[in-house]
Chains A and B, each alone.
Chain A
Amino acid sequence: GIQVEQSPPDLILQEGANSTLRCNFSDSVNNLQWFHQNPWGQLINLFYIPSGTKQNGRLSATTVATERYSLLYISSSQTTDSGVYFCAVESSGSARQLTFGSGTQLTVLP
C-alpha cells in the first residue's frame, strides 16, 4: 500500500515563529488532507488539497502531486496551534481508504 512520511516528527517553536511541515507519499493520490488533532482527540480539517495551493488565514498548504509531496505552512504561530498535525492520503484505487502519516507534534511556547 501507499506509504506516507511526515517530517519533522517533533517541532518546538517560540510564539510568532513560522514553520513548515512536510508530507511525502509514495504513489499517486485522489485525496490529500491535512488535519490538526486537538487535545480531546478530534481531527480538525485544515485543508483538502490533492494538488495546488490553498490559504486560510495564517495557514497555507501546497501539494505537488507529480513530485509526491505536500507542505503545510504555519505563520506567526500561536500557543493554540500546538498539537499533532496529520497528513492523510487516499491512493488511486484504494476505495476511500485514508492512509495517515505518523504526524508532527508541534509545541508553541509563549
Chain B
Amino acid sequence: EAGVTQSPTHLIKTRGQQATLRCSPISGHTSVYWYQQALGLGLQFLLWYDEGEERNRGNFPPRFSGRQFPNYSSELNVNALELEDSALYLCASSLTRDTEAFFGQGTRLTVV
C-alpha cells in the first residue's frame, strides 16, 4: 500500500513568487495535514483539511493557503515568497475518526 506522497521533492523559487506543493494521502484517509520544518524553528503545524474543508490553521500569515480536492489530495500554496519560507514542508494524513498521522517524504522549498 502506498504511503503519503508529495511532489515535487525539491522546489527552488525566487522571492516574491508563488509556490504550489502537492500531497496525496494514504488510500482511505480523508484528513490531510501540513507542517513546516524550518531551520532553527522545529516542526510547526500549518493546516488541517478534512472532507474538503479547512478545519484548523496554525499561526501562519494568510499567504499560506491550501485546499483539499474531492479525491482528498491537497495543495499548499505559498504566495509572495520570502527568504524565511525556505523549509521542509511535510504533509501527513489520517483517517477522519483517528488521530494517528502518517507523514510523506516532504518537499524542500528553497527561496532565493
Contacts and interface: CB of A to CB of B under 8 A. Distances in A.
Contact of B33 (A30, A48, A96, A103): A96
A42 interface: yes
Contacts of A100: 42-44
B55 A95 contact: yes
B100 A96 contact: no
Interface string B70-112: 0000000000000000001010101000011111111010000
Given A95-B55, A97-B58, A88 B43 contact: yes
Contacts of A88: 43
Number of chain A interface residues as a range: 20 to 34
Interface residues of B: mostly helix, strand, loop or mixed? strand
A42 B42 contact: no
Contacts of B88: 41
Contacts of A35: 103
Given A96-B48, A98-B45, A42 B101 contact: no
Interface residues of A: mostly helix, strand, loop or mixed? strand
Nearest to B55: A95
B18 interface: no
A76 interface: no
Given A40-B105, A41-B90, A42-B105, A90 B99 contact: yes
Interface in B34-82: 35, 37, 42-45, 48, 55-56, 58
Nearest to B44: A100
Contacts of A33: 100-101
Contact of B48 (A30, A42, A97): A97
Contacts of A44: 103
Interface of B: 31, 33, 35, 37, 42-45, 48, 55-56, 58, 88, 90, 92, 94, 99-106, 108
